[in-house]
Amino acid sequence: MNMKKEIEFCLVYRDMWQSSGKYVPRVDQLKRIAPILIEMGCFSRIETNGGASEQVNLLYGENPNTAVREWVKPFKKAGIKTMMLERALNGLRMFPVPADVRKLMFKVKKAQGVDISRSFCGLNDHRNLELSVKYAKEAGMISQGALSITYSDIHTVEYYMEVVDKLVEYGTDEIGLKDMAGVGRPDMLGRLVKAIKEKYPHIIVQYHGHSGPGFSVASMLEVCKNGVDIIDVAMEPLSWGMVHPDVITIQAMLKDAGFDVPEINMDAYMKARSITQDFIDDFLGYFIDPKNKIMSSLLVGCGLPGGMMGSMMADLKGVHNSINLSLKNAGQPTLTEDELVVKLFQEVQYVWPKVGFPPLVTPFSQYVKNIALMNILQMAQGKPRYSQMDKNMWDMILGRTGKLPGPLAPEIVALAQEKGYEFFEGVPQDNYPDELPKYIALMKENNWDRGEDDEELFEFAMHERQYMDYKSGAAKKNFDKELEIAIKNSGVQVVYKEVKSPEYKTQEEIAAFLEKEPNAKPVMATISGTVLWELSVTEPSLPAPIGTAYKTGDVVCFIAAYFGNEEIKTLFDGKLVYVVAQQGDKVKKGDILAFIKE
């Protein structure tokens, strides 16, 4: 009798948040959710930290080293392995890291209790991964060398197996398939896993795939049929969209296919789901773009990864007005935000092969996206493509961060020659000399403690600017201000409408109103849900007429939440002067619903 193939689950709790929005939970929130995730009983691994999460800790004014130690502690006690994500040459940041800082990182993370290092190079350059494998093993960590999965004529099974051969030669314990955009085709991924398992049967293989374009569920079944050992999963309310498939769906699918999969404690799942929603309602939801909850087959063409969608939407909002102003001045039609997103996807699809097919994963996804975004802005201003590229983009193009998988387009080569740039073919790490002595001297000069196991020294050397802002207190002040603005502006971010009344206002009209009526006071949502101006189940209802008088404590409207209808009361006397939220609007806790003026 054949034994069922066992499949383990890894929860990518950190990446769930990064793929949804700009920020991840604070350490107090992580400590609250950890026992419930353990209680679910279905995870053998938890992804605990990476570049984005540690920088977010600093931006909050939190110590990232304390956060990692507190986060991994309960899992370690429960026998669940913890896994970090690091970017090889780029460590935990967006640009290259000196070798001595990279080596210290693994010592620090092992001392903090992290078991596994998933190391990937965005270019799949095995030379960048060699030190990651070496340093992880020397520190006593499990080394997982990860392949950055994408789809093109270049990225074949044979191409990836050449990288695998080198990783095994360097001594990696495991191979990760990092399908960061979810564009890996199921059949190819199955053949790749089969090739790895046939050649290296002792190697554990783990698959990570985002939901974005819709392939990942099929990919998960296919890789399991071909010998994969561990699958990365997410959980509601953050699963799907640009995130990852939910553990419930994947467990049910694999159980039906005859695999030995762990059972899920559904009571604990519902508790974890509720607590995660609490984090969204608390403040994290203000930084989650609603579009990141939606899957899009447009990603099949452009291949942008789920993990950067939060930052990408923030970037688009920042440059949207500038692009439209340029288009308007040139007598061209302006773009809505949705039109701009599609235009960006199309430009990424155009630019990607021109710059050598770098797999679109951090930081190279950001570089290619930034080239595309700047191209759109420059062309709107009547300037040519590629007329605004920074040093990081050029370092990628010139080979200073690794060998590109494909050839550069002739116009890119010509532009580099025109600027007098030289192409680099050596080992990328050689471009970045050791720097720890400099940071040790700076810490001594500032009278800063190097921390337990030199963890504060490491954090300073890895994230210099953010660490200095954290130490000065500027980071927390800046974040508090950003949150205040996000809460203030949240009432004019329309997510979905069942009814648009004649009173419906555009964002520009709302801003104009606030300039005219600075003394108007907001009526705010006290919980997330659906706005109901009247409790009518038979027909849509409109807001109260402008000029309606209210006394402090009067019910202005209702919000239909998961537990029932919440009364929204005014905190002051006055008359209704402006309506923001219409009947049927989906709102978040803290959203502005209307304005009342005394």
Q: How many domains does the chain have?
A: 2
Q: What is the pTM of this model?
A: 0.75
Q: Is residue 131 part of a domain?
A: no
3-state secondary structure of 44: strand
Tokens of 292: 């990141």
Q: Tokens 């701009």 belong to which residue?
A: 340
Tell whether 311 and 426 lie within a shared domain. Answer: yes
Could you give the CA distance from residue 259 to residue 257 in angstroms, rounded to a whole number? 6
Q: Residue 569: how many CB atoms within 10 A of its CB? A: 15
Q: Is residue 528 part of a domain?
A: yes
Q: Is residue 231 part of a domain?
A: no
Could you give the CA distance from residue 116 to residue 45 in angstroms, rounded to a whole number? 9
Q: Under a CB-based contact definition with an 8 Å cutoff, are residues 206 and 229 in contact?
A: yes
The dihedrals phi and psi of 415, each to the nearest 5 degrees, come to -65, -40
Tell whether 316 and 416 lie within a shared domain. Answer: yes
Class of residue 29 by CB neighbours under 10 A (exposed 0-12, middle 13-18, buried 19+):
middle
Q: Is residue 197 part of a domain?
A: no
Tell whether 320 and 408 lie within a shared domain. Answer: yes
Tell whether 528 and 408 lie within a shared domain. Answer: no
Q: Which residues contact 441 (CB under 8 A, 6 or more apart)?
A: none
Tell whether 397 and 315 lie within a shared domain. Answer: yes
Q: Under a CB-based contact definition with an 8 Å cutoff, are residues 262 and 251 in contact?
A: yes
Q: What is the CATH number of the domain that holds 561?
A: 2.40.50.100
Radius of gyration of the chain (CA): 25
Residue type at position 148: S
pLDDT tens digits, the chain, 598 residues: what are they? 457 999 999 999 988 998 888 889 999 999 999 999 999 999 999 998 887 788 889 988 999 999 999 999 999 999 999 999 999 999 998 889 999 999 999 999 999 999 999 999 989 999 999 999 999 999 999 999 999 999 888 999 999 999 999 999 999 999 999 998 899 999 999 999 999 999 999 999 999 999 989 999 999 999 999 999 999 999 999 999 889 999 999 999 999 999 999 999 999 999 999 999 999 999 999 888 787 788 878 777 766 666 555 556 666 665 677 777 778 777 888 888 788 888 888 888 899 899 998 887 777 887 888 888 888 877 887 888 888 777 788 888 999 888 998 899 999 999 999 989 999 989 999 999 999 999 999 999 999 999 999 999 999 999 998 899 899 998 888 888 888 877 876 653 333 233 333 334 555 666 677 778 878 887 888 777 778 887 543 344 567 788 899 988 888 988 876 555 677 888 888 999 888 887 777 777 667 788 898 8
Q: What is the pLDDT of residue 391?
A: 79
β-sheet with 574-579: strand ranges across: 521-524, 592-597, 574-579, 549-550
Could you give the CA distance from residue 524 to residue 531 in angstroms, rounded to a whole number? 11
Q: Is residue 329 part of a domain?
A: yes
Question: Which H/E stretch holds residue 270?
Answer: helix 266-282
Q: What is the pLDDT of residue 493?
A: 39
Closest C-alpha to 110, from 167, 147, 68, 145: 68
Q: What is the pLDDT of residue 373?
A: 82
Tell whether 414 and 315 lie within a shared domain. Answer: yes
- Final residue of a domain: which of 399, 430, 461? 430
Residue type at position 114: V
Q: Which residues contact 413 (CB under 8 A, 6 or more apart)?
A: none
Could you give the CA distance from residue 157 to residue 462 in angstroms, rounded to a whole number? 34
- Final residue of a domain: which of 388, 404, 430? 430
Tell whether 417 and 313 lie within a shared domain. Answer: yes
Residue type at position 435: E
Q: Is residue 89 part of a domain?
A: no
Could you give the CA distance from residue 481 to residue 15 in angstroms, rounded to a whole number? 25
Q: What is the pLDDT of residue 53?
A: 86
Tell whether 507 and 424 lie within a shared domain. Answer: no
Tell whether 318 and 423 lie within a shared domain. Answer: yes
Residue-range definition of the domain harbouring residue 562 = 494-597
Tell whether 505 and 423 lie within a shared domain. Answer: no
Could you give the CA distance from residue 112 to residue 458 in angstroms, rounded to a whole number? 12
- Final residue of a domain: which of 430, 457, 479? 430
Q: Is residue 99 part of a domain?
A: no
Tokens of 288: 């989650």
β-sheet with 564-569: strand ranges across: 564-569, 555-561, 529-532, 586-587
**How far are the Cα atoms of 32, 71, 528 from residue 29, in angstroms, in the given order?**
5, 10, 19
* Each residue's pLDDT tens digit, 140-185: 999 999 999 998 889 999 999 999 999 999 999 999 999 988 999 9
Sign of the C-alpha dihedral computed for residues 351, 353, 354 and 359 taken in this order: positive
Q: What is the pLDDT of residue 315?
A: 62
Tell whether 507 and 410 lie within a shared domain. Answer: no
3-state secondary structure of 561: strand
Q: Is residue 529 part of a domain?
A: yes
Question: Across-strand partners of 549?
Answer: 575
The dihedrals phi and psi of 175, each to the nearest 5 degrees, come to -120, 130
Residue 432 carries which DSSP code?
S
- How far from the centroid of its chain's Cα atoms is residue 75's Cα? 23
